[in-house]
Structure 1
């Protein structure tokens, strides 16, 4: 698959996560709406994280001539989503909450901010 196709899939899955994640942080926890939106959020986050693993890093140091520091957020997501889900199912809401906040701010806010730095795809689209 071409990089541009992977980027499109990534954007189609991650942009809704920004909005859904924000809503989830603001609404009452434990409701049916929270659970349903949370499941959608988790599925989209897993898809976007997996897709990004196939996208080679274009900036900075690369490991195996492919992975860059930005990929650490993909691995964070692939670890955090299932462990947060399991925590919620076990009733460990404190752990679930901590993991989901980490996921939102790490993989959405911080990683998202990096995508707007010079030389990155979204920087080129929005600022060129």
Structure 2
């Protein structure tokens, strides 16, 4: 693992990547810990802030240009911002089931799935994890297999934890 490709990238890419990594770690923690208490709310606010930074900073990353400065990936950022708004609104309206589903979907789609694409050949995170030459066919296949297994296991654990450790938000 070599952080040099990321540290050599533009400041906006660094902000985007480090905010995404922090959101990934914090989001995983919040999804598996007790729900509805004061720490859950505080950590959730921090997570929403990190995700907002990730989504907004993406609008200033123009490496894949298909529509002027933008690409279809930027539509995911719009969807992320809208989903964050909806998820927070659900929590404020005490629609906890919808809030939980929206947050789980955001974590899985906006961080896990899209994060996986950052490891594709030619991308900065591919060089960070696999070295300056990136991953070869064997490393890519192993990475894909492990990613799918970890993703399936994470989804199962989140669903399992959501049914047994959840508490309604306090008024």
Offset at residue 11 of structure 1 (A): 1.7
Q: Is the counterpart of residue 50 in structure 1 residue 56 in structure 2?
A: yes
1:30 to 31, 36, 39: 36
The CA distance in 2 between the partners of 1:79 and 1:99, in whole Å, is 11
TM-score normalised per structure 1: 0.89
The CA distance in 2 between the partners of 1:121 and 1:50, in whole Å, is 19
Q: Is the counterpart of residue 117 in structure 1 residue 120 in structure 2?
A: yes
* Alignment partner, residue 162 of structure 2: none
The CA distance in 1 between the partners of 2:76 and 2:107, in whole Å, is 11
Larger Rg belongs to: 2
Q: Which runs of 5+ in 1 are unaligned?
A: none
The CA distance in 2 between the partners of 1:57 and 1:66, in whole Å, is 8
C-alpha deviations, 1:58-106, integer Å up to 9, x for none?
2xx712x222232232112110111110110000111111110110001
The worse-fitting range, judged by mean Cα deviation, of 100-109 and 65-74 is: 65-74
* Alignment partner, residue 83 of structure 1: 86
**Greater relative contact order (Cα < 8 A, sep 6+):** 2
Offset at residue 29 of structure 1 (A): 0.9
TM-score normalised per structure 2: 0.68
Offset at residue 38 of structure 1 (A): 0.3
Q: Which runs of 5+ in 2 are unaligned?
A: 1-8, 133-171
1:62 to 56, 63, 66: 66
The CA distance in 2 between the partners of 1:62 and 1:103, in whole Å, is 25
Two-structure CA RMSD over aligned residues (Å): 1.4
The CA distance in 1 between the partners of 2:19 and 2:11, in whole Å, is 12
Number of aligned residues: 123
